A = this chain, B = another copy of it.
Amino acid sequence: MNTEKNRNSLSHLDAKGQAHMVDVGSKEVTERSATARALVEMKPETLLKVIDGGLPKGDVLATVRIAGIQAAKKTSDLVPLCHPLMLTKITLDIEAINETQIEIRCTCKLSGKTGVEMEALTGVSVAALTLYDMCKAVDKGILIKETCLLTKTGGKSGDWVNEQEGNV
């Protein structure tokens, strides 16, 4: 296997294997969007403290939503090689999909030169951490699972759908 070529194909490394923030100056400005997802798995009785009969209880979900939205804006501060971006839209949806799992989805949009996949993934990740934090006094074993990108649109590489995820 041609190791040198493999290494170079990781776009954030240069030919010497050194990290850099890649030049997107010559990329086209296109409309870009991305949606990511995280599943937070907890005991049924924990879930009922957060959402009961479809109704959110207290400030829990709003806190999770705000944390995720603010984190999406901080992506380039958290993920070292991400470009600073001016997102034009962030939404964060939270839903109990069964009696032990809460799904968090984040969609980001941008009219710009680089994709917003990392922003959507950062949004769901920090939202999931915040949900853990709100519930940890009663359930330390909560699991954040299946954090992944669901779809992206725009850019040179075009649209992409995560085909392994049945519930997209």
A→B interface (CB under 8 Å): 1, 3, 6-7, 9-14, 16-25, 31, 45, 48-50, 52, 57-63, 65-67, 69-71, 73-74, 76-93, 109-111, 113, 117-118, 121-122, 125-126, 128-130, 132-138, 140-149, 152, 160, 162-164
Smallest Cβ-Cβ distance to A53: which chain B residue? B3
B140 & A129 in contact (Cβ 8 Å cutoff): no
Distance, CA A59 to CA B61, complexed state (A): 9
Task: Point out the residue from B49, B90, B140 that lies within 8 Å of A10, measured CB to CB.
Answer: B49
A10 & B137 in contact (Cβ 8 Å cutoff): yes
Least distance between A142 CB and chain B CB atoms (Å): 7
**Between-chain CB contacts (< 8 Å), 19 pairs:** A10-B137, A13-B58, A17-B59, A20-B89, A25-B109, A62-B63, A66-B66, A66-B67, A67-B80, A69-B81, A70-B77, A78-B126, A82-B133, A88-B113, A121-B132, A121-B144, A141-B149, A141-B163, A144-B144
